[in-house]
Chain A
Amino acid sequence: MPRERRLKDNQIIQILCRSDDAVAIYTGEEILIEVANPAMQAAWGRDASVIGLTLSEALPEIEDQPFLGMLQEVWRTGIDNVGTAIPAELLVDGKLQHYYFDYAYRAVKDENGQVYAIFHTARDVTEKVNDREELKVAREREELLEREQALNEELAAANEELFATNEDLSAAQERLRILNQELEDRVDERTAELSRSESRLRYLLSDAPVAIAVLRGRELIVESANKMVLNAWGKTDEIIGKTLPEAIPELDGQEFLGILDAVYTEGEPFYGSEVKALLRQNGRLEEVYFNFVYQPIKDEAGKTNGIMITASIVTEQVFGRNQVQHLNEELIAINEELNESQDLLMSTNLDLKASEMRLDKIISELPVPVVVLMGPDQIIATTNEALLKYWDRTKEEVTGKTMLQVFPELKSQPYPDLWKRVLAGEGSVASIEIPVTYKDKLEGTERSFYIDYHCQALTDLGGNNVGVISTILDVTEKVRSRKQIEKAEAQLRLAIESSELGTWYIDVITREFKPSRRLKQIFGFYEEEDMLYDATTNQILDEYRQLVTEAVDHAILNGTSYDMEYPIKGFRDGAIRWVRATGKLYGEDANGHASFSGTVQNITQRKLEEQRKDDFLSIASHELKTPITTLKGALQLLNRYKDNLSSAIVPRLIEQANGSVEKITNLIDDLLNTTRTNEGQLHLNLSTFIVSKLLDDCCQHVRIGGKHDLIVQGDLQLEVEADEARIDQVVVNLVNNATKYAPDSRKIYLLIEDLGHLARVSVRDSGPGIPEEKIPHLFDRYYRADYGGAQYSGLGLGLYISAEIIKRHNGEIGVESKPGEGSTFWFTVPKKVG
């Protein structure tokens, strides 16, 4: 419940008027000041006397300022007017000063919306604004300072550049100065040279054996004249500087001045030949003949400004010719006489000509190339169509020329010499199938020919050799094809020889049998012996003979060929050889002969190899079956004992199984080694080791077996660089052989020897020894000493592989053995590789 207020309205007004903010209330269009509190008064710089005055009365200085208008606007429109930091100029302390005000003119309305008062509040924000202004100014100043600084720095940089450029400039200037100096020096030099050459020229000109004069200008001022020209003109050098007409008055009336003027005008040189001039020489007017040139001298613009005269006196020649003319006339008279005698000759000539023409005709129609060469130079006098075709030339190209002119390539060939000799009278030449080489007319490539050539001397009436006549027959084709056939035949012969084929030939009708030398050889005949056809069948081994003869008959009957392999027995030596024979029936050839012919090839080696390989394979499979049998047996027995694995027999069986697998592996390795050595793939792992140690460690299976003692002797320290595993293989092989083939030899000796740069190891037993005939084959592939009976187990590869290994080491392997005296197998290897 609001209490009763104690203050009266005017007290309230008083209190409110004490606000620090300026407050004023106006009424009416004239803006009467109803209230203005002390703050407002202070702001205006007035006192309370302004209350009751209009604003313009109270503050006349605001007349030009917008406040009045704004207040009146508010009164009229009723719209408040509020502003911040509005500048105003007020008279304070007698001075017009700048102020800023935040102000509000608020329209006070009654219930009807009518404005009845304006409430004006204002705050003096001059200081604030000023501060703000100052701040803005200060900031701007700062910015300016910064920019100035930046500009300064740029300036400094630019200055440096400028300085640098300046330096460059002065350097360049210096260079320029130097260049200038050089240029001037050069110019000086050039000028000096020029004057030197000028004086040289002048000197030359003056003494030249040709008359030379230089005239300047249209007036033809004599600028220079050399001795010759002065002589010719009959003048001295006092004419220099005068015009030509002045210098040589007698020229007046002669053409020369006119010509000179024309040359000057046209700018074109004039050449005169044997022109007569009348010149005063030695007081007399003489006739002088000149060959001369008037050459216009032009300036840089191309305009003629002078003429150079060069002339030579030809007076004597002209006179001389006149004389000749005289003589000529005499000659003509003599000629007439001659002509008469010539007519006489002519008739004699005609007869000759006729016969010559006949000869020509005959020659030209010959289908054989013929050429007549006259004289020691072999001038081509007569040719015919056939010859021109052979030479690939036309008649015009060759007639009248020498042979060597047309065919210089013949120079290095025997023909020029041949012609000379025939011409010299050494007799005619006839050669068959001699070579000649011409160069192709257009391309210059060489064309070779073979020719039959006949050349004989041509004599005149007096019996003298005046030329040669040759006929040429082109036999190139014939010779070429013959040579081709010869070549083919030689190739065939070579092929047959290199294949070592024997060949044979039977004429079907005459039954003539022709065996080649090789065929006889294969059948075991001596070369000079006769071999009859029957031999070819008789010598076939019995079991094959029928087969072969049947096949041959079949081939003959049906005209087919046969191709068979069969063994034959040598005629002389009885040796069995295997041959492959082919034969075919050939029908009638060009001579009407039908023939049966074929080839025979000695395939014994191959057959033996095949047989050995077959045997080897069967032995190999047999050998493999032995350890496989053991393996299978052991495993099957193990199967029986599988519920009783602790039985004593089980370890033994397992051992057997393993041992068998080992054996199988080794056998297969041997087989592989054989193939590998064939292909040259045997790779050596080199190391340096002591030989005696290897021998001590190897062949444990033999030592354990207890049947043999291995005794190592010799150089026990010897070291060698080789593939240790492979050498071990070789030693094991040799020792195994000893145990196999000399089972009763208790002691087996292993001897090590130092042979300088080779090391030698030998394995010696005291067994039965090896027969001499078997020794060469011991190291052959698939070979076993008792081959036919197939009695010894093992593949027979051991020695072959050992030999290959030793060979790979660049060593040697061999055996010394006599039946009953035991065997020593030895091998050597280089102590160091390479």
Chain B
Amino acid sequence: MNLSRTARLALRLALALGLGVIYVPLGIVLLNSFNSDRTFAWPPTGFTTRWWSTAWSSSGVRDALWTSVQAGAGATAIALVLGTMAAFAVQRHRFFGRDAVSLLIVLPIALPGIVTGIALNNAFRTILEPFGVGLGLFTVIVGHATFCVVTVHNNVLARLRRTGLNLEEASADLGADTFTTFRLVTFPMMRSALLAGGLLAFALSFDEVVVTYFTAGAQNTLPLLIFGYIRLGQQLPIVNAIAFAMIVLTVIPVVLAQRLMRDTGVLRRGGTAALIAK
């Protein structure tokens, strides 16, 4: 590399500054969750753990958390099935409209969230309401699954590209049928890719608010609860505590997924969508 010392130093500095800008606001949320002053004037004046204990004992927060966990689990389960099927179809077959299928899978995250949100809202109200199914947990799961498919799909696709067909052919040559091969060879090969995709799908669902707002009806997920508090200016000290807890809850699956994805080659291929689908 023909970079001068000054250039290297400048680049390192830019990186450090950039990371600083990324982390300072998050640090402030953490700090304010211990700030005894309700207005969060800078600099903080006193220390308290009251907000954390209030948030922990609030039944509204607990209910919302439980709803979010259920929604995340449901959406992840559906995304795992649909994403894997689509990845196998796209990677193992050549057919007319293959590119269109790839595009279709990315579409829910490529289109502005509000469009997906109101389209689903409209569809649910027209189709489901006559059957007596209102907006609620079920519609939230359906909405989340729609944009979670891409994370699983991209992870499985990257894995299939890397592993090739040799092992499965060997298995077939040794007399195993399609199902046995899948159970003993294909599935174990994909397990960590599925886990990574699933974790990312869960994190994506757990944090989503744009589409959720239009599909949840009266149901409160954790992000919707926080959004409500912020909008009405209520319970702001508690928001800091919940918000920070949410960061931790979302980040754990992502860091785990990161470790798993190191060997799927998703990032190297540029599959940013798999990582940051939103």
Query: Does A associate with B in a complex?
Result: no
